[in-house]
Amino acid sequence: MNFSQLQSFVAVADTGSFTEAAYALDMTQSAVSHALSALEGELGVTLLERNRKSVVALTAVGQAIIPRVRTLLAQREAIKQEAKAAQGETAGKLRLGSMLSLVSPDLLARVLTRFRTLYPEVEIVLFEGMMREVGEWIEQSIVDVGFVLFPAPKFEVTPLITDELCVLVPFGHRLHTKGAVMPGELQEEGWILEKSPCAFQLLKAVLGPRRSRPQLRYQASDSATILAMVREGLGITLMPRLLLKKLEGIVALPLDPPYPLHIGLAVRSQAMTSPAARLLVQQASIWVQESTFLLR
């Protein structure tokens, strides 16, 4: 067993394709296939199911093994980075998870800009997903560090900012002139939400456990589509304030009481975190403290 075989296994599992895995690893497809066959031969089990279209899926034993392989590869990268740090170098790969529709693009972009300026030799691979996905990526070592809502008991979290959820309604809506809106006033509304279980869970948390099931009218993948539908009066929605720019024909109302979103950067364990991940958390914290555009 060698690291090339383990990397090939993870790459094929992630992409579902030998061709795409080969491209990601800068290897030939035959080399990836040979590495997988050698690994399966040594272990005496089948890790991946293949079909005629070369689309693959993990077997049961593959699913059991891959979290350990990811952890092993992550620690190998951390060891290499620690060795470089001892020589005064900061280089390597950093995998960062970010929450779609919860983390401000400005926050993400400016943190990355600061980090790249200071540490240009670190390659950052960005993973974007829903809140639950980012948590799973951290837990499974798919990413080294990720933006999360906290408290997050499974992880070690460095707080960054506090955002807040707002209710978005069109001009002319019965609530649009209010300074703030209480959950009880939203009970009979029709909602337009992102296609995500997390979005529905947030809505239920806002409305409270004693409320009836919210009336979900539409779901969409893109925030621009959701805003356009709200503007046309098809329903109302919830969004973090920091994601909102110029809203034409829409009013953003704070909740009463406010519903804060505490956002931080999380790792599985500080003791096992790579130097690059520690530096990203450190620089993100410094930048937020120096920034003036964020909510306090």
pLDDT tens digit string along 143-190?
999 999 998 888 999 999 999 999 999 999 999 999 999 998 998 899
Domain end among 10, 41, 73: 73
In the structure, what pLDDT confidence band is assigned to residue 296 with cuts at 50, 70 and 90? very low
Residues paired with residue 218 on neighbouring β-strands, in sequence order: 192
CA angle 8, 69, 4 (to 5 degrees): 30
What is the chain's mean pLDDT, rounded? Answer: 91
Domain hosting 32: range is 1-73
CATH number of 28's domain:
1.10.10.10
pLDDT tens, 215-233? 999 999 888 899 999 999 9
Q: Answer whether residue 106 is part of any domain.
A: no
Question: At residue 8, does pLDDT exceed 60?
Answer: yes
Q: Answer whether residue 129 is part of any domain.
A: no
Mean pLDDT value of segment 58-80: 93
Domain count, the chain: 2
Surface-to-core class of residue 290, CB atoms within 10 Å of its CB (0-12 exposed, 13-18 middle, 19+ buried) = exposed
Q: Who contacts 16 (Cβ-Cβ below 8 Å, separation ≥6)?
A: 55, 56, 57
Cα(190)–Cα(193) distance, integer angstroms: 10
Domain end among 43, 73, 103: 73
The encoded tokens of residue 109 equal 């972009």
Domain end among 73, 97, 131: 73
Q: Answer whether residue 246 is part of any domain.
A: yes
Positive or negative: CA dihedral 177, 179, 180, 182: negative
In the structure, what pLDDT confidence band is assigned to residue 292 with cuts at 50, 70 and 90? low
Q: Answer whether residue 56 is part of any domain.
A: yes
Q: Answer whether residue 121 is part of any domain.
A: no
Q: Which of 148, 120, 182 has its CA nearest to residue 281?
A: 148
What pLDDT shows up at residue 123?
95
Q: Answer whether residue 152 is part of any domain.
A: no
Question: At residue 55, does pLDDT exceed 90?
Answer: no
Cα(163)–Cα(265) distance, integer angstroms: 14
Q: Answer whether residue 206 is part of any domain.
A: yes
Mean pLDDT value of segment 191-220: 86
Cα(176)–Cα(230) distance, integer angstroms: 12
DSSP state of 44: T
Quick one: how far is CA 234 from the chain centroid? 29
Question: At residue 293, does pLDDT exceed 60?
Answer: no
What pLDDT shows up at residue 210?
65
Task: Please compute Rg for the chain using Cα positions.
Answer: 22
In the structure, what pLDDT confidence band is assigned to residue 101 with cuts at 50, 70 and 90? confident
Q: Answer whether residue 153 is part of any domain.
A: no
CATH number of 251's domain:
3.40.190.10
Question: At residue 281, does pLDDT exceed 90?
Answer: yes
Q: Which of 33-47, 135-149, 201-215, 227-241 has the lowest mean pLDDT?
A: 201-215
In the structure, what pLDDT confidence band is assigned to residue 54 with cuts at 50, 70 and 90? low
